[in-house]
Structure 1
Amino acid sequence: MAEMSFLPAADGPGALAARIAASLAARSGFDAAAKLRLMAGGRQVGWLPRGHAGILRGFGAVLGPEQPLADGSVGVALLPGCNGFDARSAMLRTLARQLADAGHVRGWRDELFAVTAALDAPAIAVVERAAARFLGLLTFASHMNGIVDGGSAGQPALWISRRSPAKAVDPGMWDNLVAGGMPHGSDPLATLVRECGEESGIPPELAQRAQAHGSIEVLRDLPEGVQWEQVYVYDLLLPPDFTPRNQDGEVSEHRRVEVAPLLAIMSAGAMTVDATLVTLDALRRRGWLGAGEPD
């Protein structure tokens, strides 16, 4: 992604808000009619695109027959007749590799995500992370706003990070200072603390001070499938002299930005959808959005 210069918008706050809203809307479409509710144990674990269902049926008995549900939608069972966590996980491991070999799944991560109906529900299996969006699975992530409060001496600012151009998802886009998917067996805070160290060099004793601010659900169509994600939101107040340093190669740049240029970055559509929502949430909570800015 080419380097861009973002300056405070000359437009009024209403125009800036409209551009941010338009950018989010353009990237957040979801067509439920083109999906099957992917079911396991009587509960929904994903939104499976109908076209992907046809591909899966070519790999054997992965899906059950389509069944009408009480709300008028259509469901389909995942791995019908396959019982037990280990057996289902083994079948999904084989399936994910088949999908990757056939070119349907890219960006293999060697990281396992839970197949589950909720964060606090037992996982029925695990699957390679790269296959989660193809299946439209419910996934979980932790995002953190890195905040520098200017106090009476200056303007507040946020640290943001640019995703590596080698990333399989949203390469080169701006992101929250810390953002990471939650692997099976982790939890929101543990995920955040780990990602703080890997992405920004934030030591655990500082990362543990992050304040939780609920979650945001993201449900949208993507070229590779569906992003259905529960994003757990955190804020961390950073020392004024702190400078983040990436440790794992997944971040190409960190930048400290004040609110006006940050809004301009978001209005240009240069920040990921999830990070835009998480950032706006922090700015709203802290009263740093002017009148007419996005709610």
Structure 2
Amino acid sequence: MSDKSFPPALAPFLRHIAACNSAVLPGGRLPFFCEAEQIGWVSSTTAQTLQTLGIQRGQSFGLNTGTELLPLSQTLCDMGLYASHKEAFDVRNDSGIVLGQVDRGAIPVLGLAAEGVHLNGLVEREDGLFLWVARRSMSKRLDPGKLDHLVAGGMSAGLDPQTTVIKETQEEAGIPAELAATARAVSRIEYALERPEGLRRDVLHCYDLTLPHDFTPVAEDGEVESFHLIPIQEVVALVRDTDAFKFNVNLVLIDLFIRRGLFAPAEAAILKNALTDRTV
């Protein structure tokens, strides 16, 4: 379906979805394998570096075992292709089996899929639904100062989505583990886009957490500058009219708006389809 066939009122929301699905694959990239399975896509710049390391396979690149992934990512860092995050992420195949680990910063360089969690911190009040929104610290490497979810983070090596939620809620917002454990898994969002750091192929595990009226989040790890409790209608307006939120937060919020019945059924169906259709 072309953008021209969409109702004009949806255009401001659809632009966020399109922006997060801007990557064309392969788009001049070459496949990157681990053993016999393709796990990534590399740009011409990365390909030139991999050639010097002797891991070319004809018109593709690859490693013989997953244990070589982490040393390769460390080598690419040493060669200046990215700055280390000093955090290991699991690399999975299409079946979800962990093949090995890489430094988080190498993921977009190699075009690998990465998983993370986003949590909607909700407060149900007599005057309506409110959402806790975080403002990212100006010291953040990516999107400093942008608005963000109450809790959002990548899934470090060895963790699953639920464990990551509990870990990140404590670190980022001071939420006790017993409260964080009541978060509900509500959706899964995938996208592929070009970013300054490389190709982002992200999988977001989305959660809703209903918080007590008297709860106030506390920034525990310095990644958040401030927290704000905002009526959901104001959040809708921010997504619709601005680029105030970090790029991928918009998708998770649109999913929340759909599930909360903030769009007419026909509009909700279009947006829901757009969230799962990378050609839109």
Between the aligned partners of 1:61 and 1:160, the Cα distance in structure 2 is 47
Aligned pairs (5 A) from 1:178-257: 178-257=151-230
**Which residue number in structure 2 is paired with residue 271 of structure 1?**
245
- Counterpart of 1:47? 41
Question: For residue 228 of structure 1, what is the amino acid of its counterpart?
Answer: R
- The one-letter code of the counterpart of 1:34 is G
What's the secondary structure of 1:195's corresponding residue? helix
The answer to whether the 8 A contact 2:50-2:61 is kept is no
Q: How many angstroms does 1:15 deviate by?
A: 5.6
The one-letter code matched in structure 2 to 1:92 is L
Runs of at least 5 residues in structure 2 that lack an aligned partner in the other structure: 1-6, 273-280
Number of residues of Structure 1 aligned to a counterpart in Structure 2: 261
Candidates 66, 78, 94, aligned match of 1:98: 78
Distance 1:254 1:221, change over 3 A: same
- The CA distance in 1 between the partners of 2:196 and 2:21, in whole Å, is 12
RMSD over aligned Cα, in angstroms? Answer: 2.1
Other-structure match for 2:22: 29
Distance 2:128 2:231 in 1: 7
Which segments of 5 or more consecutive residues in structure 1 lack a partner in the other structure? 1-13, 67-75
Instruction: Answer yes or no: is 1:56 the counterpart of 2:30.
Output: no
Q: Decide whether the 8 Å contact of 2:13 with 2:254 is kept in 1.
A: no
Contact 1:113–1:128 (CA<8 Å) still a contact in 2?
yes
The two structures have a TM-score, normalised by structure 1, of: 0.81
Specify whether residues 167 and 119 from structure 1 end up closer, same or farther in structure 2 by C-alpha distance, changes over 3 A only: farther
Instruction: Name the aligned partner's letter for residue 40 of structure 1.
Output: C
| CA distance in structure 2 between the partners assigned to 1:286 and 1:23 by the alignment | 19
Matched letter for residue 97 of structure 2: A
How far residue 23 of structure 1 moved from its aligned partner, in angstroms, is: 3.8
Instruction: Report the Cα distance in structure 1 between the residues aligned to 2:95 and 2:227, rounded to whole angstroms.
Output: 30
- Select which of 71, 92, 116 maps to 2:92: 116
Q: Distance in 2 between matches of 1:176 and 1:16?
A: 24
Q: Give the CA deviation at 1:154.
A: 0.7
Q: Distance in 2 between matches of 1:200 and 1:289?
A: 30
Q: Does 1:65 align with 2:73?
A: no
- Return the letter of the residue paired with 2:90: A
1:280 counterpart residue number:
254
Alignment-mate amino acid for residue 141 of structure 1: G
